[in-house]
Structure 1
Amino acid sequence: MFVKVTKSGPRRYVKLVESYRDEAGKSRQRVIATLGRLEAVTAGESSALINGLLRVSGQPTHEEGTGETDFAPARSVGDTWLLTSLWKELGLDDAFRRVLRTKRQFDAERLLRIMVFNRLCDPESKLGVLRWLEDVLVPDVDTTSISHQHLLRTMDTLSDCSEALNDVLAHQLKPLIDQELSIVFYDLTTIRAEGGTSLDGDVRHYGPSKEGGTARQFMLGVVQTAEGLPIHHEVFDGNVAETRTLLPTIKTVVKRFNVRRVVLVADRGLLSLDNLAALSAVRIEDRPLEFILTVPGRRYGEFDDLLKAFHQTHCQDANREAYGEMAWQDHRLIVAHRPEVAKVQTAARDQKIEALQADARQWFEKLDNQDAGRRYRGRQLSDAGVTARFYKAVSDAHLGHILKVDLTAETFNYVLDQRALDRARMLDGKLLLVTNMADHDPQEIVERYRALADIERGFRVLKSDIEIAPVYHRLPDRIRAHALICFLALVLYRVLRLRLKASDHPLSPTRALEIARKIQFHQVTLHRRETASGLTKLKPEQRDLFEAIGLPAPTASRL
């Protein structure tokens, strides 16, 4: 059915015409209605009829829609497009779908993808994820039917398939790992958890927090390569000793990645004689597991005699770093001395000692004057009170081994232990490492250890950008699922960081995602029908970003 204009003499008429086929099959036309003269229709006399037809067809009438264009709210897509491309390039979509597809009626892999992307784009609770989806477009994912229960059931699925998921993740990451010599870094942090209930198998326990104080928490261990790529994580009870987490974690990594050689680098909290014996017993293809462990500062006193000769011989030049090694417990004890660090540490300690001694001199003077009969405003000082205040100040400054307060004396008294002060100054600027590596000199071993700072930055990313804590889940399996989601987000973050670094791009992953997020998807509707959709025009910095990381820039046709 269509509109046709016909002529009759000097006049033109608007008619509603229908096409049909006669009995012989030939195409014919017949007039359904004459709408009137063309001049009257264009002048608006037939608007009632036209508006009626529009209204019956469900379209806005002339009065309702003439000249009106509706713009749907813009939805950000650049950051999710970037992460989706990275997710697929790593092969995580197919690998995870093979594990998850038989477990639920819904697509758990795509829901996992959404929760991982949310941790990097705008960390929210699982209910917050639904609010986030209102303003974003995730490629290849229909977000209209996603519910809160879908997200929770996906987390339950992750817990059921955790071993298989970690296996396929390891398989996908293997091409990025050096199989000849793999330096792995291990560190542990505490993740604060909320809630007061207790459950069977609960991983939330009260323990000393890395942020200070005591908190209800669980422990998260992360293993990372020398290039900064996270490859494994473990969730432990919140009150477990750090030394008990190391051996089972490293055995899992060796088995899962099947590397030929592993050099474990770990922080000072994991050094113990038990760990040394257990690590020395671990073998990889008939060769021992190699390790570099830091000696805790509280144990430096055990090495006084060994360090004195090194300090007197190698540490007198204030402009040159010094490296050396000694034998200890059948292992190599590596020593590094940085004079600029030693100068800063010594000056800071001396300043604290001088401030404390100045306070002590004032208290001594005031106590003596009081004994001589002089009066001061306020309460009088007592020797016991001054002793307690000074002892607390010394303890807060961590100088009790140097400024020794006599708590048993009747009068306020303390002594400065010059021998302890000289020993502390000798240890300033020094790093002590225990290792069984035989084919690296001390300086190379120290440089490998200093890369451990990178995994500590990874924990800061987990706690700041990804916002892994605080955790409000109470079920142990969902806590582990939450940790897995955040770990996968950290993997994407670090892969993006490696690509930016490889191309000498100055942006951080967080800033890169912020720039990509400004790419938005727009829909334009005219007369209640979608007539056009597209993306904001990419800026040069956005094009440079996608080129630097080797991923295709988003386009309307690709979406």
Structure 2
Amino acid sequence: MFVKVTSSGPRRYVQLVEAYRDENGRPKQRTVATLGRLDQLGTELESVIEGLLRVTGRALPEPGEPPAMTFESARALGDVWALTELWNELGFDRLRQTFRRTRHGIDVEALLRVMVINRLCDPDSKLGVLRWLETVSLPGIDANAIEHHQLLRAMDALIEHREAVDGVVSELLRPLLDQDLAVVFYDMTTIRAAGLSQQQDDVRQFGKAKEGIIARQFMLGVVQTADGIPLYHEVFDGNTAEVTTLKPTIEKVIQRFPIRRVIAVADRGLLSTDNLAELQSITLPSGQLLEFILAVPGRRYSDFIELLTPFQQQQCMDAHGEITGELEWEGLRLVVAHNPETAAEQGSQRDRTIAELERNAAEWSGKLDAQDAGQRGRGRKLSDGGARARFYHEVKEAHMARIIKVDLKSELFSYSIDEQALTHARLMDGKLLLVTNVTDLKPEQVIARYKSLADIERGFHILKSEIEIGPVYHRLPDRIRAHAAICFMALILYRVMRQRLHASQSGLSPERALEQLRRIQHHSVTMNTQSVTGISSISQLQMRILSALKVKKPTASKQLPLL
């Protein structure tokens, strides 16, 4: 029922009207009561209002008293709105069809979307996701209806239907790829894992982390394009050698994406004799051999001394700018880049380090000689064994063990400088060595392709910092894989955001953009008995960010009521 004012000639009447449907379903209205003429009601209308309020248990405010107002806590809207729009635009919402045909009674796509967006806005544990939902106004999501076990069930469904999910992700990525030439970058990193339990087929194994310590971890391999778009990821056991992962990973990428040519670019650590043989045996669906560009690790530079000595003497001695060249090595191209400024800096730093170590050695030798002569100094007495151990430790810490040889077998403290090793180190200063079977790229182009690999390192940095992929507290192997898949989807959204912000010359990183959009908030106010919702004003900077991301302005019409 509702109140309606009707007119009859010059007079206006206040009526109580009821809406209903007749026997044919057509909407109708009927007058329940006529309250009187509008111009004659006066104080009588106030009595009617007061009576209705008493019936409902409410009361009018006293004269002069401000209306009763209740403010709900403001909820962040702009960042989750933009990420939701990108999620749908890229095609991640097609996952709804994938899971609709399954036995799961939950909205798996919506739950995955919640967890992915959380990784970009305020990464937290699955319980933390529920707390985060209480602070945001996520379009289409009823925060109170989500429970912790549903998030875990969604992760299980993700792995159970991994092949179908990968198919959807591959389809949405294909429009972003260069179909004529895809330069594929591959690298691995270690992700710390918590827990002491041991599971069947556990991927958490003890291995050497990137920080140089032994820790429980799993390995994450990521493939991306030269434009920074992630293509594929894989979780490996924490003690897996990197060289064994490249071939199967590249083969999966080739099967998944119809690319005519692939140049695999990988970092140091993946170059070995066995790995080179395996790489040269990979054939693409087009019939072409896989092409690759691999960096030579520093520990193997000594294998190329004989090849590089003539190159150094002929081209590098008097060079003032960066030079490139190539040599032949085992039937492959050895591309060399030499930067004189870098070489001078590395050489000077090494000389300073050696000089500092020799000063320490001379100080300890002097103290030992003084002690042998019967002179007593301040502090504890120094022994030859103690000086030898301390000096050896400092040499190892400075990565100078190949040049400074500490005699560990002598009774007296002594060391020597390996002049040949020092000469070889100076020969390698400022150089980058790449092994490749690509024949139609100039040395400068090969170098440029490889240097783009630094972008995937930034991707790992994003995974570990902004997205906070680790440490991982899940213990089940499939939950760990699901967690990695969720973080991988978040990385795709992050990279698309970065591309669009860069293309618009906004000068903003995705983190900074989301921080600005987070200030767009959803508000709810109740005044007496009426609730009003709205969105905070949007600044020009926020509008420019939305425009750069190709996302329309948030509207209140698509928001659920605040809970």
Query: TM-score w.r.t. structure 2 length?
Result: 0.90
By how many angstroms is 1:51 displaced?
4.8
Gapped regions of structure 2 (runs ≥ 5): 6-12, 19-28
What is the distance in 2 between the residues matched to 1:412 and 1:28? 110
What is the distance in 2 between the residues matched to 1:40 and 1:444? 89
- Flag the 1:528–1:195 CA change in 2: closer, same or farther, 3 A: farther
- Flag the 1:265–1:2 CA change in 2: closer, same or farther, 3 A: closer
By how many angstroms is 1:387 displaced?
1.6
* Secondary structure of the corresponding residue to residue 219 of structure 2: strand
1:276-287 aligned at under 5 Å gives the runs 276-284=276-284, 285-287=286-288
Q: Partner amino acid for 1:438? A: T
Residue equivalent to 2:457: 456
1:283-362 aligned at under 5 Å gives the runs 283-284=283-284, 285-362=286-363
By how many angstroms is 1:17 displaced?
7.4
Q: Is the 1:2–1:16 Cα contact (8 Å) retained in structure 2?
A: no
By how many angstroms is 1:63 displaced?
5.8
Residue equivalent to 2:22: none
* Secondary structure of the corresponding residue to residue 337 of structure 2: strand
- Flag the 1:526–1:60 CA change in 2: closer, same or farther, 3 A: farther
Q: Partner amino acid for 2:207? A: G
Query: TM-score w.r.t. structure 1 length?
Result: 0.91
Residue equivalent to 2:511: 510
What is the distance in 1 between the residues matched to 2:4 and 2:334? 97
Q: Is the 1:59–1:527 Cα contact (8 Å) retained in structure 2?
A: no
Q: Is the 1:195–1:474 Cα contact (8 Å) retained in structure 2?
A: yes
Q: Is the 2:77–2:138 Cα contact (8 Å) retained in structure 1?
A: yes
Residue equivalent to 1:439: 440
Say whether residues 1:470 and 2:461 are aligned partners. Answer: no
By how many angstroms is 1:406 displaced?
1.3
Residue equivalent to 1:118: 118
By how many angstroms is 1:384 displaced?
2.1
1:373-388 aligned at under 5 Å gives the runs 373-388=374-389
Residue equivalent to 2:10: none
Residue equivalent to 1:205: 205
By how many angstroms is 1:2 displaced?
8.5
Q: Is the 1:59–1:528 Cα contact (8 Å) retained in structure 2?
A: no
Residue equivalent to 1:151: 151
Question: Does 122-131 or 139-148 show the bigger shift?
Answer: 139-148
1:481-492 aligned at under 5 Å gives the runs 481-492=482-493
Q: Deviations 1:181-218 (Å, cap 9, x if unpaired)?
A: 10000000011110000010111011000122011111
What is the distance in 1 between the residues matched to 2:265 and 2:337? 16
| Percent of aligned pairs sharing the same letter | 53
Q: Is the 1:185–1:452 Cα contact (8 Å) retained in structure 2?
A: yes
Residue equivalent to 2:260: 260
* Secondary structure of the corresponding residue to residue 434 of structure 1: strand
* Secondary structure of the corresponding residue to residue 408 of structure 2: coil
What is the distance in 1 between the residues matched to 2:190 and 2:540? 41
* Secondary structure of the corresponding residue to residue 144 of structure 1: helix
1:24-423 aligned at under 5 Å gives the runs 51=50, 53-57=52-56, 59=58, 61-62=60-61, 67-94=67-94, 96-103=95-102, 104-284=104-284, 285-423=286-424
Q: Is the 2:346–2:429 Cα contact (8 Å) retained in structure 1?
A: yes
What is the distance in 2 between the residues matched to 1:382 and 1:128? 56
Say whether residues 1:519 and 2:520 are aligned partners. Answer: yes
RMSD: 2.5
- Flag the 1:212–1:528 CA change in 2: closer, same or farther, 3 A: farther
What is the distance in 2 between the residues matched to 1:504 and 1:343? 36
Q: Is the 2:15–2:31 Cα contact (8 Å) retained in structure 1?
A: no
By how many angstroms is 1:142 displaced?
2.6
- Flag the 1:470–1:38 CA change in 2: closer, same or farther, 3 A: same
* Secondary structure of the corresponding residue to residue 443 of structure 1: helix
Q: Deviations 1:421-464 (Å, cap 9, x if unpaired)?
A: 11111111111111000001111101100000000000000000
* Secondary structure of the corresponding residue to residue 551 of structure 2: coil
Residue equivalent to 2:9: none
Q: Deviations 1:236-275 (Å, cap 9, x if unpaired)?
A: 0011111111111000000000210000000111111111
- Flag the 1:117–1:428 CA change in 2: closer, same or farther, 3 A: same
- Flag the 1:535–1:432 CA change in 2: closer, same or farther, 3 A: same
What is the distance in 1 between the residues matched to 2:190 and 2:57? 59
* Secondary structure of the corresponding residue to residue 293 of structure 1: strand
* Secondary structure of the corresponding residue to residue 471 of structure 1: coil
**Alignment length (residue pairs):** 537
What is the distance in 2 between the residues matched to 1:555 and 1:424? 63
By how many angstroms is 1:28 displaced?
7.8
By how many angstroms is 1:39 displaced?
7.6
Residue equivalent to 1:534: 534
- Flag the 1:354–1:235 CA change in 2: closer, same or farther, 3 A: same
What is the distance in 1 between the residues matched to 2:44 and 2:390? 98
What is the distance in 1 between the residues matched to 2:433 and 2:32? 97
- Flag the 1:73–1:334 CA change in 2: closer, same or farther, 3 A: same
Gapped regions of structure 1 (runs ≥ 5): 6-14, 21-25
What is the distance in 2 between the residues matched to 1:152 and 1:4? 52
By how many angstroms is 1:419 displaced?
1.7
Residue equivalent to 2:21: none
